Amino acid sequence: MFIHREIQRKFPKLRKLDGEELTPMIQFDVGEEATALPPAKASFLCDPNGTDIIRQFLEQYFLIFDSDNRQPLLDAYHDQAMLSLMVPPASQVGRLEKYWRYNRDLRRQNVDDNTKFRNLRVGRLAVVSMLAELPKTKHFPRSFTVDLTLFTPKMIVFTVAGMFKEFDQGSEELRYFQRQYIIVPAGSGFCIRNEMVLITIAMQPQIRFFKKTIEPSNAPQQINHEAAGLSNSLQNRLSINQPSTSTVAAATLQPAQVGIDESTKIQMVQALCAQSNMNIEWSKKCLEETNWDYNHAAFVFDKLHKENKIPPEAFIK
């Protein structure tokens, strides 16, 4: 394969790759030269203009993914989106039971095996249904690395990798993930057209790095509900111990609600007020912070209410 030959050029002494014996390269006897590898980078951006779009997209995506309800991710996927998940062989990392039945590792399947078709999720309903079945998680943005490899007006391709904790029946495991996205324009934002997910165990160097660098920065913080100014906004409270988010980030996943007249806004405030039992002031604030997207506002309220992060004055009428 072409890629094997290119890797051999960088590593002339390499004899085995991906479990296959390599044919030795023909070389002239001119003495050994030190192989100069490209310098390592934490992240790669083919175009700096994509920085804010990718950051906002990931903030909003993982904020929802780590919540108790992943159904709002429906708005993040194209109607014909495709998703596949892969885990390494059990001989290398052990059997990752919670992910194994979704595994679409083509190297371990026969040509006539329909598993490769069955485990390819097609359509946003199939995609989000599978994601909803995966274990509850908490991702750590400080561990993320991002490689943006294509940035055009019609398509963006990037890969994000990092660590997350998997929660199940009171226990938690540290995992490593890599997700490759192809996103395309949709309305005033973007949606996911294709996604490939790799999940594996965290190796010992990664665990040590996590405990030394990531975990201390995620210690619980004291929340001051008396703080003035923007610290009282619902959306700011959502950013505590989470990646920062904004109405711009929300608009990245789904089109902004534009052209809403004042009478409609009043009706939305009244409806949220009745549904949430918050007063008019805080119901209006919730809708404003979520760009007048009623479904998202209800989702934000439900999440914060479960976490007891909404102050008592929000319910005083």
- Choose among 29, 30, 8, 26: nearest CA to 17: 8
Instruction: Report how many domains make up the chain.
Output: 2
Residues 65 and 118 in one domain: yes
The verdict on residue 235 lying in a domain is no
**Residue 307 pLDDT class (50, 70, 90 cuts):** confident
The verdict on residue 276 lying in a domain is yes
- Choose among 133, 77, 125: nearest CA to 100: 133
**Residue 244 pLDDT class (50, 70, 90 cuts):** very low
Q: Are 178 and 159 in contact (CB under 8 A)?
A: yes
Q: Write the pLDDT tens digit of every residue in 191-200.
A: 999 999 999 9
With a cut of 90, say whether residue 211 has pLDDT above it. Answer: no
Q: Write the pLDDT tens digit of every residue in 219-240.
A: 544 333 322 232 233 333 222 2
User: Can you tell me whether residue 262 is helix, strand or coil?
Assistant: helix
> What is the CATH number for 84?
3.10.450.50
The verdict on residue 127 lying in a domain is yes
**Residue 147 pLDDT class (50, 70, 90 cuts):** very high
**Residue 217 pLDDT class (50, 70, 90 cuts):** low
The verdict on residue 25 lying in a domain is no
C-alpha 181/C-alpha 160 separation (Å) is 8
Domain boundary among 216, 236, 270: 216
The verdict on residue 275 lying in a domain is yes
How confident is the model at residue 317, as a pLDDT? 79
C-alpha 140/C-alpha 144 separation (Å) is 7
Residues 76 and 131 in one domain: yes
Higher-pLDDT residue of 248, 117: 117
Residues 199 and 313 in one domain: no
Domain boundary among 165, 184, 216: 216
* pTM, full prediction: 0.59
Q: Are strands 77-86 and 189-201 parallel, antiparallel or unpaired?
A: parallel
> What is the CATH number for 303?
1.10.8.10
Alpha-helical (H) ranges within the chain are 2-10, 51-65, 90-93, 97-100, 115-118, 124-133, 204-209, 234-238, 247-253, 262-276, 280-289, 294-306
The two three-digit tokens of residue 17, written as one number: 């790759």
Residues 202 and 59 in one domain: yes
Residues 68 and 166 in one domain: yes
With a cut of 80, say whether residue 82 has pLDDT above it. Answer: yes
Q: Write the pLDDT tens digit of every residue in 27-58.
A: 655 455 556 667 777 788 899 888 888 988 99
Residues 102 and 191 in one domain: yes
The verdict on residue 157 lying in a domain is yes
Over residues 140-155, mean pLDDT: 92
The verdict on residue 242 lying in a domain is no
With a cut of 90, say whether residue 247 has pLDDT above it. Answer: no
Q: Write the pLDDT tens digit of every residue in 180-192.
A: 999 998 887 889 9
**Residue 176 pLDDT class (50, 70, 90 cuts):** very high
Q: Are 285 and 274 in contact (CB under 8 A)?
A: no
The verdict on residue 48 lying in a domain is yes
**Residue 134's domain spans which residues?**
44-216
C-alpha 199/C-alpha 202 separation (Å) is 9
Q: Are 180 and 196 in contact (CB under 8 A)?
A: yes
Residues 305 and 170 in one domain: no
Question: Among 75-79, 89-93, 100-104, where is mean pLDDT lowest?
Answer: 89-93
Domain boundary among 185, 216, 247: 216
Residues 118 and 200 in one domain: yes
Within 13 Å, how many C-alpha atoms sit on residue 240's CB side?
20
C-alpha 197/C-alpha 131 separation (Å) is 11
How confident is the model at residue 242, as a pLDDT? 34
